[in-house]
Every structure is written in structure tokens, then in C-alpha cells.
Amino acid sequence: MTVGLKVNLYLLGEADGRTHYAEEPVGDHEPVLGTLSVESAALPQPAPPVIEVSVRYREASLTTMPVDLSRFVPPPREALKLGDKVTIVKDRTSGIRYPPEWLEQYLGRTGRILWTTAGGAMVKLDKGATWFPYTELEHSDER
């Protein structure tokens, strides 16, 4: 017997070749999955307004992961906290994530951490703020 759950996700919009869906919370319950981005080419066009996602629970029978997850998880970094000073550097560990022209305008600039996510941090620069993956941030000793 397979145990699992099914969740309906509703179309939010499309951007940069991806179609974004979000779960509508029911009552006062938190979303089970939250949001999901799907490669637009994998969906019929126009994109369906609702998709159903099934999650099945399996026994942990695999001794190794069938996929190399290191490309999805940022390399271990020292913990960055609110207010830490960082310098924007070229990402040398995970390949090019953004067009060189985009990163070029920020290289060498310093700023302060406004908030962090699992993969990066929002950095307050001179005029405005921009999110950067951890691999493009170098921690400064100054607090």
C-alpha cells in the first residue's frame, strides 16, 4: 500500500521560461508544499490553471542518492547574519548562474546583509538591495 498526499497548485504566472504555481491554504492550515516552479516547455500551452502534485512516501532502500544533489545545494559557508558586511565576488564554485553582464555591475561592491535564505542573502547596497547566492558573497571581518 502506497501512502501519500495530493495537493492542488494554482497558476501564479510565467517568467524566464518557468511557470510558477502556489498552493492555496485551506482554512488556518499552513501550505503543505508552498510554491513550485515548472519548466514551461514541460507543460501544455497555454499553461494549465491548476496542477495536481502527488507525493508518495517510500522506504529508504537506496544506499546512495541517484542524483548528484551538490549542484542544487550551496557549498557550506560560514553563517551570515543580519547586518554582516559582505563583498560581491565572482562565483567560482558552481559555474555561471547569472549572465556576466548582470554580476559585473556588482563585483567588488560591499554591502550589509538584510536577510538570508537557504541559498543566499539579500544585500543592501548603495542604492537598493539585491539577492545573491552565497557563492557570490565573501564575508568581511568588519561587523
Instruction: With beta carbons less than 8 A apart as the criterion, state whether 33 and 23 touch.
Output: yes
Statement: residue 86 has pLDDT above 60: yes
Statement: residue 95 has pLDDT above 80: no
Residue 121 grid cell? 542573502
Domain ranges across the chain: 3-57, 85-139
Phi and psi torsions of 11, nearest 5°: -60, 125
Statement: residue 29 has pLDDT above 80: no
Q: What is the mean pLDDT of the chain?
A: 78
Alpha carbons 3 and 139: distance in angstroms, whole number:
45
Give the closest residue to 129 by CA, choosing from 103, 111, 105: 111
Alpha carbons 110 and 132: distance in angstroms, whole number:
12
Statement: residue 94 has pLDDT above 50: no
34-72 residue pLDDT tens: 888 889 889 999 999 999 998 887 776 655 556 665 555
Q: What is the mean pLDDT of residues 70-75?
A: 53
Q: In what order do the strands lie in the sheet with 3-15?
A: 35-39, 18-23, 3-15, 50-57
The owner of cell 498552493 is: 23
85-139 CATH fold: SH3 type barrels. (2.30.30)
Q: What is the mean pLDDT of residues 103-109?
A: 81
Neighbours of 104 (CB within 10 A): 11
pLDDT at 3: 67
Range name among 1-5, 23-27, 111-115, 132-136 with the lowest pLDDT average: 1-5
Instruction: With beta carbons less than 8 A apart as the criterion, state whether 138 and 89 touch.
Output: yes
Statement: residue 77 has pLDDT above 80: no
